[in-house]
Amino acid sequence: MDKPLDCLVIGAGPAGLTAAIYLARFYRSIMVVDAGHSRAAMIPRTHNHAGYPGGIPGSELLQRMRDQAAEFGVQVCSGLIDNLERQSNHFIAYGDGGEWSARTILLATGVVNNRPRIAPETHAVAVERGLLRYCPICDGYEVTDRRIAVLGTRTHGFNEATFLRMYSRTVTLIASDGAHDLSNEERDQLNLAGIEILDGPCEPLRMKDRTMIITTPSGERMFDSVYPALGSVIRSELALALGAEATADGCLIIDEHQRTSVEGVYAAGDVVKGLDQISHAMGQGGVAATTIRNDLAKVSCYDKRYDTPRFNPLCPRLRTYRIRFHGKR
């Protein structure tokens, strides 16, 4: 295997691509490997990402980021990394697209939303048309005064329904699998806010013209938009297998510089506990890349581009260099 890369970036969503742009501009040797399921690619048109009046489709934003990364020589390889091993001072990542060794790893692997019961082809069209939505913070504004259903229960469903109530008087909270699991206090608050509560189980969602149909034991209802509040699968498994600390639901716990609890493994974006938004993922990608660059410099103490020693009085290679060429101790 070749010399280890400075960093293997796993995931080419907003977090991974931002980090890749930064790292390439720091003259680090990197590779990005991506399984091709960025949540950003599902966004028909984002209107809350700053800098794009009129909005921008998620797929276009990702393509622009890829193009920008390519300007600095970044390669993105398609594939799924399914195993990460630590060797003495580097990592080996194994995937269906190949095998990479790297001194550091940036996990920018995101999350996968749990879907309601719905035919896959209907799901894609419903998301594209804004009939099915996954992010009230992102696009609640777009459903102002519409008929909204939230699919879910417990605290998650309760929070999402009350959040969306700021946009519309017509919000219905529907338990997808059976009877609701809500406290009396939550029921009181929902009633006070005028949010209708319906028990499930729901039949698979259907689309009719520009509406979603939800069928429960109490009958068939039509909505302009449905928000599943069914949780997500956090794609942190590679770091967890190395012993990284995570929250109960699997979000990676990081320090203020995006370092996980495993030395050499960094994380950014939705896979980390925090606000699941493009801007946040990009910000974390920038912080992670800068931390990786600085942490690597502490170890190697040689400036990559000019191959000259940087000032680090603790570095043995630098001490040898200074003694040899400057006679200093």
Ligand X SMILES: Cc1cc2nc3c(=O)[nH]c(=O)nc-3n(C[C@H](O)[C@H](O)[C@H](O)COP(=O)(O)OP(=O)(O)OC[C@H]3O[C@@H](n4cnc5c(N)ncnc54)[C@H](O)[C@@H]3O)c2cc1C
**Window of 115-123, 165-173, 276-284, 293-301 that interacts with ligand X by CB under 6 A:** 276-284
Phi, psi for residue 317 in degrees, rounded to 5: -65, -35
Task: Tell me: does residue 277 bind ligand X (CB under 6 A).
Answer: yes
**Window of 144-152, 199-207, 243-251, 274-282 that interacts with ligand X by CB under 6 A:** 274-282
* Among the listed residues 70, 77, 92, 135, the single contact to ligand X using CB under 6 A: 135
Task: For residue 71, give every residue at least 6 positions away whose Cβ sits within 8 Å of its Cβ, in sequence order, or none.
Answer: none
Residue with smaller CB distance to ligand X, 7 or 12: 12
DSSP alpha helices (H): ranges in 44-194? 58-71, 120-128, 136-139, 154-164, 184-192
Interface map 46-85 toward ligand X (x if CB under 6 A): x-xx------------------------------xx----
CB 48 within 8 A of CB 145: no
Q: Is 311 helix (H, G, I), strand (E, B) or coil?
A: coil
**Window of 1-9, 45-53, 145-153, 169-177 that interacts with ligand X by CB under 6 A:** 45-53
Interface map 84-113 toward ligand X (x if CB under 6 A): ------------------------xxx--x
Task: Tell me: does residue 42 bind ligand X (CB under 6 A).
Answer: yes
CA distance 7 to 102: 5
CA distance 118 to 176: 12
Q: Is 327 helix (H, G, I), strand (E, B) or coil?
A: coil
Task: Tell me: does residue 270 bind ligand X (CB under 6 A).
Answer: yes
- The owner of tokens 């939505």 is 133
Residue with smaller CB distance to ligand X, 35 or 289: 35
CB 5 within 8 A of CB 30: yes
Task: Tell me: does residue 14 bind ligand X (CB under 6 A).
Answer: yes
* Among the listed residues 25, 27, 37, 187, the single contact to ligand X using CB under 6 A: 37
Record the tokens describing residue 3, joined without a space: 């010399």
CA distance 329 to 326: 9
Contacts to ligand X by CB under 6 A: 10-16, 33-40, 42-43, 46, 48-49, 80-81, 108-110, 113, 127, 134-135, 138-139, 235, 238, 269-270, 276-279, 281
